[in-house]
Amino acid sequence: MAKIKAFTMPKWGIEMSEGTIAEWMVAEGAAFEKGALLALIETDKITNDVEAEAPGRFVRIIAQAGETYPVGALLAVLSDGDEVGAAEIDALIAGFKPADTSFTGDDSSNPEPASEPAPVPDDLDISPVARARAAAAGIDVASINGTGRGGRISVQDVDQVARPAPSVALVGPYSATPESSAFASPMARRLASVHGIVLETLQGTGPRGRICKADVLALVKAPAPVGETAKTPGPDGSGMTIQPMTATRRTIARRLTEAKQSIPHFYVRRRVRADRLLAIRPAFEGERPTVNDLLVRACALALMEVPALNIQVHETAIHRFDHAHIAIAVATDKGLVTPILANADALSVAEISSRSRELVERARAGRLKADEISGGSFSLSNLGGFGVEQFDAIINPPQGAILAVGAARPEPIDDDGAIRIVPVLHLSLSCDHRAIDGADGGRFLAALADLIERPRLLM
């Protein structure tokens, strides 16, 4: 006999409350082996691969690709591989109850106390399993009429009493079907009435030219799929495109709004000469590092020199780190993602370059792991590649600071009394004033400027 079970929205991390089905990788009814990729689920800023724990097949897929579901929601029904009757699948779906995934410990909702186990008379004709289930559920078996042999109470009888009564929602009558002389089926008339379609304007494709359901539905405008754009008239009548936010974009919007509202930002700015930093790139063996690779290395060493910025802020506690875990901002088609270069202070420029390329590629492909986007102690956002000269960045909580870097542009500087025109970088440091003082920000930028202007220290 086939075994079936629920396939639910998993929970990755304590803060996860919902996920989006990015794509089903296995079709309904198709067999798969252990380890097969079943679905891609987008949560927060990453897309997670869900692999099969055992061979089987989806006998019913319920969740739609592109839609968002809470943790614990029923997404599909799994079988161990054998065929399953529709009635058995329907029964599992009807009786499914999501697991409680909350972690607040809040009892403000005042739930009803659990029922006290009801005593079951010893001389009652009831099966042992039904007796135990009735006692655990607090069911008074005296009111149950047994359907077993000789009136014996079975477990099915107990389950029938324990099952909550189905709720009925009254939605009102169907719209009245207007009188029409058109030769059409009752369903076609109903659909035409609902969607405001005049039957006389249709050419029927049914027997003897009868207008059928398909003829009406062919004129019904299908709604735009979830996540796709929809056209609508603009204020001037020229039209505009409405595109729903993806789960990733919604997360970015929520986190940055919270950061800007709850974190007291202050900014420290400085410009540094970058000619020596640019000139040293060919000196590295192997593939030439990017400017961003060198900046990551410089930030990591500066954080070791000024550890006051190598922190996370958690309400009234400050978490200080022994190593620099630097988040690098990566632009993807789904929004900004910040993978973490862990222990960057212990990595060489070549190691940072290799690891950065790998993280950027997987970030843009949506294949980052959960531990690769959490745990950062500092962020670096470089828009120099887009020609941006300078900007201020919003802190990525719970980190305490983020450095914004623009493109190197020729500017005059004082070089031991001589005026020279050299490439100059504009640095802007955003700090959380709850944990970092202005003097700390100034010391960090001074240490960083020294490393950039004396890049041999990075090697």
Among all residues, which ones are annotated catalytic?
433
Q: How far apart are CA 271 and CA 269, in angstroms?
A: 7
Question: Tokens standing for 232?
Answer: 């609508």
Residues near 40 by Cβ (< 8 Å), separated by ≥ 6? Answer: 21, 22, 23, 25, 47, 48, 49, 50, 366
Q: Which residue has the tokens 């212990």?
A: 346
Contacts 24+ apart (CB under 8 A), 450-457: 451/298, 451/301, 451/302, 452/272, 452/273, 452/274, 452/276, 452/277, 452/294, 452/295, 452/298, 452/425, 453/272, 453/273, 453/276, 453/277, 454/276, 455/276, 455/277, 455/280, 455/294, 455/298, 456/280, 457/301
Residues in the chain: 459
> For 36-171, where are the alpha helices, taking DSSP H only?
86-95, 128-137, 155-162
Pairwise CA distance, residues 324 & 334, whole Å = 27
**H-only helix segments in 306-430:** 349-364
Question: Which residues, in sequence order, are bridge partners of residue 327?
Answer: 340, 379
User: Distance of CA 3 to CAs 59, 82, 374, Å?
Assistant: 11, 8, 38
> Can you list the positions of beta strands (E) in 195-322?
230-232, 240-242, 265-273, 311-314, 317-320
Could you give phi then psi for residue 29, rounded to 5 degrees? Answer: 90, -15
Token reading at 262: 């709850």
Residue 126: in which H helix or E strand, if any? none
C-beta separation of 51 from 70 below 8 A = no
What is the spatial distance between Cα 21 and Cα 254, in angstroms, rounded to a whole number?
20
Beta strands in 274-363 (DSSP E): 311-314, 317-320, 326-328, 330-332, 335-337, 340-341
Inter-residue contact 453 to 438 (CB < 8 Å) = no
- Cα separation, 396 vs 55, in Å, equals 41
